[in-house]
Amino acid sequence: MRPAPGDINLPLQVPLDALNIEVYITAMEAIRRIPPPRVDYAARAYWAGTIKMGLSKFFILRVLHDGPMHGYDVARCVERTTRGCCSPTEGTIYPVLREFEAGGFVTAIEEVVQGRQRRVYALTDAGRAAFRVALDAWMEATAALQDTGRAFAAADRASAQRAGSQEC
C-alpha cells in the first residue's frame, strides 16, 4: 500500500503528488538494495584500527595524568608513550578533548604560548578517577588476551604433536 500525498516527510520541500511519491519510493528501494560495506575481519589493519580507536581515549587520559598540556603536546605524548602504536591526529585529539571537557573530565584554559592562543588541558578529579577505571578495565582485557594467547599456543602445540605422532 502506497502512502497518500502528505504522509511522507521528505527532506526537501516539494509538493507531494503521485509522481513525487513514486520517485521517492523508488529511490528508497534502491538505497535499501545497496549492500553494506564489507569488513575484512582477516585484515590486520581492521583490528589495529579498532584497537587504536579504543586506546586513543585511554592514552589521552594517561598523558594528561602527567600534567596539563595543549592538544599538540597531547598528540605527541600519546605517540611517544605508546611507542608509535597510537598516533592520534588533530581530527582525533580535539573531538575527544571537547568530549572530555563537556563531561567534566578535563578543563581547558586559554593561554598565550609563543605569541599564539592555545588551550591548555588538565585532568579534573573526575578525569583522574576515569583514568583509574579505564586502567583497571584495560588491564583486565589485557589479562584475558594473554590467557587467550597462551591457550591458543597450547592448542597449536598439541595439534602439531598429534600430527607429528601420526607420521610413520
Condensed to tens digits (0 to 9), the pLDDT of residues 101-144 reads: 999 999 999 998 789 899 999 999 999 999 999 999 999 999 99
- Could you state, in order of their start, the residue ranges of all structural domains in the chain? 44-158
Beta-carbon count within 10 A of 123 CB:
23
Q: In what helix (H) or strand (E) does residue 109 lie, and over which residues does it extend?
A: strand 106-113
Q: How far is CA 46 from CA 7, 37, 38, 60, 152, in A?
A: 42, 13, 11, 22, 21
Checking if the pLDDT of 24 tops 90, the result is no
| pLDDT at position 79 | 94
Residue 88 to residue 58: CA distance in whole angstroms: 12
Contact 16/10 with Cβ under 8 angstroms? yes
Amino acid at 142: T
| pLDDT at position 71 | 93
What is the per-residue pLDDT across 26-69, written as a single tens digit (0 to 9) for each? 888 887 888 878 889 999 999 988 888 889 999 999 999 999 99
What is the per-residue pLDDT across 83-97, written as a single tens digit (0 to 9) for each? 988 888 888 899 999
Grid cell digits, residue 155: 592448542
Q: Which fold has domain 44-158?
A: Arc Repressor Mutant, subunit A (1.10.10)
| pLDDT at position 78 | 95
Residue 18: strand, helix, or coil: helix
Contact 62/133 with Cβ under 8 angstroms? no
| pLDDT at position 134 | 95
pTM value is 0.68
Beta-carbon count within 10 A of 97 CB:
20
